[in-house]
Structure formats: C-alpha cells, structure tokens
Structure 1
Amino acid sequence: MKILIIHAYFLDENDFGGSRMNELVKVLKNRGHDITVISSGINYSTGKSYSYVKKMFNNRKIYDSVDLIRVKISDSYNKSFLGRLKAYTEFTYKTTGKILSFKKQDVVITTSPPLFVGTPGLYAKRFKKSKWIFEVRDLWPEFAETTGVIKNKKILKYSYNYERKMYYKSDGVVVLTPAFKRDIISRYPKLENKIKVFTNAADFDSVYFDKEARERIRKKYNLKNKKVFIYTGAHGLANGLWQIIEVAKRIQDKKVVFMLVGDGMKKQELIDEAKRYDLKNILFIPPVSKKDIKDYISAADYGISVLIPNKSFEKIYPNKVFDYMSCERPILNIIKGQTAELIKKSKCGVTAEPGDIEDIINKIYDLLEKDEKENLGENGYNYVKKNFDRKIIMNNYVDYIESI
C-alpha cells in the first residue's frame, strides 16, 4: 500500500522528543508498504528550522526508503502563540496544496495537533479517493480553551465545529488514551464504533537502563551521593516546570537534585529564575538525541511527570512516563487522572497534587522512603512490559491501517 503520513512534529533520525510516528513508520516499512511523510521544517523541541530546510518543500530519505518532505514555515513558531498559529496555518495550506499534486495514496494519516491538519486529509479523501485516518494526540480545541490560550468565543465555536467535522468525515479516528475516546463519545455517541485506541508505549529497544551510562553521566555532572529527579521533554507553557523551580527553592534535603532535559518557549525564563535564586540543586541540560536519552534517565534515580493543573491534561499518557518505566525509574507524578491511575496500578511511584508545592515536596520525601522498601522501578518495568510494549501496540495499529 501507498501510505502518506502528515505529522507536523515528525522527528529526524535520533532527534529528541516523542517518536511515536517514527516507530509506526518503521513497522509500516517492515511490512513492505511505500511510505511518504510530510512534516514541518521546524524542530518542535528547539523551535528552530532544520539546517537543510531551504526551499518550500525539502525532500530526503530516512530509514533507507521512506520519503520525508519537510515544509518550510515561519520561524515564529516558538516565539508566541500567534507565531505558532501562523506556522500551523502555513503548514496546513502548503501541505494541502502539495498532496493535490500527488498520485493517489491508498491511506492518508493526519495526526493532530495542530487541529487543522485534518484539512489535507479531507482533501486527500475527497479529491484523491484515499482512505483517511484522523489521529488525535491531544484534544484540541479543548486544550486551548481550558489553558486559556484561546478565549475568543467565535474562534472556539469554529474550532469545535471543525473538530466535529473531521471526526465524521474521516474513515477512522485513532486516539491515544481511553479517556480521549470516552470524551469524544460523550459528545458524539454515533462515533463509538469508529474510534480506536492505540496508546503511547515503552520502546524497550531504544530506552532501557544502562549502568555504564549512569556512572558516566553522574560523574560528568558531579552527582555522587545525590538523589536525582529527571524531567525530559518540552519546556513550554503547558509543561508547568515552574512547579519544579518552586520545589527547588523550598526543599530542605541537600541531596535532592533536579535535572531538566529539553528545550522550549519557557526554558530561558526557567533558567533566569533559577539564577535569580542562585539554585544549586537544578541542572538544565540541552535536548539530547533519542538514542542518548536513556543515558540521562539511567543516571537519574527518579522520573518526573508534570503539567500545569488542568482538567484536560487528566486525560493523557505522557510518553516520558513510559521511558522512565522502561528504565526502571520510580516516578514522581504531578498529573491527575489517567497518568495517576497508571502510576497507582503499576505501583511504580507517587502522585502529588498539581500546583501544590508543599504536597509535591512531601511526596518527594514519601517517594524516597517508599523506594527503600519497595521495588518501585521494577514494578513499573514489569507493568509496561506486559501492558504497553510499543512493538505490540504499533503492530496492532498497522493491522488496523491495513484493514481500513
């Protein structure tokens, strides 16, 4: 089959960040499918353009035979919400124009956000007679509304109508958590049989505990006898890393160190705040490649999962949680809902109340105590190995694509 994937955040090989669609592409390729990916020219974790993106459309091969087309868009992506909206809009209309020049693709997969990436999928279905799968990684525009990013009622009304149209017009809807499915069905009951759940999962081939790397990284950053709490991922508005800065200011245990790995719109503000208070217990690490992230997680003693306090975020599974669990790291979770349920069921950590700094500090002490008595890291590893193995989930996803 000829399969086209439209994903604004698709990674280059060894990029830092969530690699769900990269793994899907590998499985599709190994099944013998002809794959083309259209993505933006911006590296979403840094907000900067890829160095080779010079023209409107930039073609290259990845994984030997997969065609990757990067679309040049505004470099204002990581500067403000309006800049991001401009970049999203550019990506949508340029991608829509591009697919109209293609020969028919058997299946087109568009993955949101950005929400309006559904448009090229709709055009592929209408004008190229392709089957179209609309994947929902985050519930937009709900997330934009509940975080206060979009307040204009007319824009919200248009966005919700657009979302509804994409669900009904597509041939299939894929969501990342059971809570997403429940949310959509509660609003559109007729979609129940159309929605499939293929969650984020643990990539045991790439992310695993590495003892040698642990010793090397801890020596590099002088972490001997420290209890290291690591966060990996975006440093944006929604990630709520101000909570970690506040904890670092107040916590009394001098052995506790926070390591924040990644980049994003709010990173410089976080660095400036740490400098203002002369915090010695927090390290800011630039983004590292996918193949190296296991080294830093292995060097840590605990993983941090955190977002701003928000009802919408109670419906997600952050991919970093599965990375921590596959490296056998106990978890300090600061997200309610689905993630908290996962931590509880797997018995791999503790959950603190989002936004409550004193509770987060108390839960850190609880975690340090529990970890001495219970095999929290081992519990997490065993649970994801049984229930969230990416190879199994991605192969099930491909089975669905082939059947649509």
Structure 2
Amino acid sequence: MKKDVLFMCQFFYPEYISSALLPFQTAEALKDSGLSVDVLCGFPKEYIKDNSKVPLHETIDGINIYRKKYLQLSRSNFVGRIVNYFSFTFMMLMNILKCKQYKVIIVYSNPPILPLVTLLARKLFKCKIIFVTYDLYPEIAVNMNAVSDKSFISKVMTKINKNLFRQVSHVVSLSEDMKNYILNNRDIDAKKVSVIHNWATEELHFSEVQSIDFKNLRKKYKLIVSYFGNMGTCLLYTSRCV
C-alpha cells in the first residue's frame, strides 16, 4: 500500500534557512493531520553549524527523512549554483524508485530543474504532483540579467514549465501577485492554483523590547516596517547601514 506524501526538496531539517524550515513545518502539519509523510532531501552542508552528527536517515516526529549527499560548491557564483542544481537533481533522479511508494509528491521550485524528476515519477508511477513555487523560471533569471530570454537555458526552462504546469495536480503560490502571473503566463486552470503565505498560520507573540537601539527607534518612528528575508540580488530596493 502506498504512503501518502513524499517531500522532495534540497533543504530540510535541521538546516536553519526558511527554505528548509517551511517544508519541515508543512511536513509536521500534514503528519499531525493523520497523513504518512516522508522526505527526500539533500545532505546539509552550508546552512548548519555542524553536519558531522547529521545522519543520512532519521525519523523526527514520525517523519522519515532520507538525506542524500551530492556535490556542493560555493553558491556565491553562477557556476557553483549551476553545478549544485544539476548535482542535487541527478541524485534525486538516482533515487526515483522511492517515489513509487507514494501517492503524492510535494516538490519545490529550487533547484529549478528538480520538478523534472517528479514529472518522470508521475509518468512511471502515476503519483500526483504538488508544486510549491518560490520562484518562477526563467523569468527571475532573465530579469536579473543572469541569462538572456533567448538563451538555451531559458528555452529549456520554458519547455519544462510547459510540461510541468500541464501535469501537476496543484500549484502553491506564495502571493496573490504570483498567482495572477502564473495564471496569465502558464497554461493551468485557476482552480489548480492556491495561495499559501509563508508562516500564514503562525500566532502573534508580544514581548517587551530589550535592546536600547530598538527602544530608541520606537521613540523616533511611529511606524516601523521590518523585513526579515534574504537581501538577494533580485530584490528591488537599496539598503543603508545606520
């Protein structure tokens, strides 16, 4: 009998970045709802203090985590990222038989070629695909001037998208704007696209400010807008150190 859900993602527990924490919290929620949940992910290296004690396989809160080692170069340059993308995707491809055990595969958009593995799994094992899109390719790479819209990479990604959005059972978008863009630029029914904001179910917590610097900021400004994400190259704002 097939299990319910397999998460396929590059980063997962115990890595501390949001790309690992969000899938972990989602997996926990699905497990708590009564579903059987396993994870196929990469072995941590960059976003963990000490990976020497991280096992290749462990069970956390009833979730079976299978970590696979792959070639990991520095992500600070384009070549390093590309090598990491293909290395991790290749490792997932080498473990595609595991997908046979599951009804649904939840796959993430990073690395951008990773969904190819789930498309093959769907063809071989008839699994359903839920695609969680953090980024849209090739648009994000084109707008960052990383590649040309007429380049080979762009054409390949466009082809992947055409097949992916035609075959997925559902797409999870992080915002209404992203959902609208998907509906206007991808061949998919609106009923198959849902918006789930990051940490949308988190409860509010109030605590007294201890930092003198923050206390002074509260005295100076009536409204403080905080941003707690990565300051990536694709973000359209400038920063200032104060």
Q: When the two structures are superposed, what TM-score results if normalisation uses the length of structure 2?
A: 0.82
What's the offset of the Cα at 1:188? 3.5
Is 1:112 aligned with 2:112? Answer: no
Match of 1:36 among 30, 35, 38: 38
> In 2, distance between residues paired with 1:232 and 1:174?
22
- Over alpha carbons, which structure has the higher Rg? 1
1:86-125 pair list within 5 angstroms: 86-101=83-98, 103-125=100-122
The number of residue pairs the alignment matches comes to 232
Q: CA RMSD in A?
A: 2.8
The residue type paired with residue 36 of structure 2 is D
Partner residue, 2:229: 233
Which stretches in structure 2 are left out of the alignment for 5+ residues?
219-223
The residue type paired with residue 143 of structure 1 is I
> In 2, distance between residues paired with 1:177 and 1:154?
29
- Contact residue 100 and residue 127 of structure 2 kept, 8 A: no
- Contact residue 41 and residue 49 of structure 1 kept, 8 A: no
Give the 3 Å change call, closer, same or farther, for CA 159–94 of structure 1 in structure 2.
same
Match of 2:167 among 154, 169, 178: 169
Structure holding more helix per residue: 1
1:77-226 pair list within 5 angstroms: 77-101=74-98, 103-151=100-148, 153-205=151-203, 208-211=205-208, 214-215=209-210, 218=211, 223=213, 226=216
1:240-389 pair list within 5 angstroms: 243-244=238-239, 247-248=240-241, 281=242
> In 2, distance between residues paired with 1:169 and 1:209?
44
Give the 3 Å change call, closer, same or farther, for CA 31–80 of structure 1 in structure 2.
same
What's the offset of the Cα at 1:190? 4.8
What's the offset of the Cα at 1:34? 1.4
Identity %, equivalent residues: 23
> In 1, distance between residues paired with 2:186 and 2:228?
35
> In 1, distance between residues paired with 2:214 and 2:104?
52
What's the offset of the Cα at 1:65? 1.2
What's the offset of the Cα at 1:147? 0.8
What's the offset of the Cα at 1:107? 0.8
Which stretches in structure 1 are left out of the alignment for 5+ residues?
249-280, 282-404
Deviating beyond 6 angstroms after TM superposition, the runs of 4 or more aligned structure 1 residues are none
> In 1, distance between residues paired with 2:127 and 2:69?
25
> In 2, distance between residues paired with 1:97 and 1:128?
15
Q: Deviations over 1:336-390 (max 9, x none)?
A: xxxxxxxxxxxxxxxxxxxxxxxxxxxxxxxxxxxxxxxxxxxxxxxxxxxxxxx
1:1-80 pair list within 5 angstroms: 1-12=3-14, 15-17=16-18, 19-42=21-44, 46=47, 50-52=51-53, 58-62=56-60, 64-80=61-77
Give the 3 Å change call, closer, same or farther, for CA 236–184 of structure 1 in structure 2.
closer
Partner residue, 1:382: none
The residue type paired with residue 27 of structure 1 is A
- Contact residue 71 and residue 88 of structure 2 kept, 8 A: no
> In 2, distance between residues paired with 1:113 and 1:200?
16
- Contact residue 132 and residue 171 of structure 1 kept, 8 A: yes
- Contact residue 124 and residue 132 of structure 1 kept, 8 A: no
- Contact residue 108 and residue 133 of structure 1 kept, 8 A: yes
The residue type paired with residue 223 of structure 1 is D
- Contact residue 88 and residue 114 of structure 1 kept, 8 A: yes
The residue type paired with residue 10 of structure 1 is F
- Contact residue 100 and residue 121 of structure 2 kept, 8 A: no
Partner residue, 1:358: none
**Secondary structure of residue in 1 paired with 2:117:** helix
> In 1, distance between residues paired with 2:114 and 2:50?
19
Q: When the two structures are superposed, what TM-score results if normalisation uses the length of structure 1?
A: 0.51
The residue type paired with residue 51 of structure 2 is Y
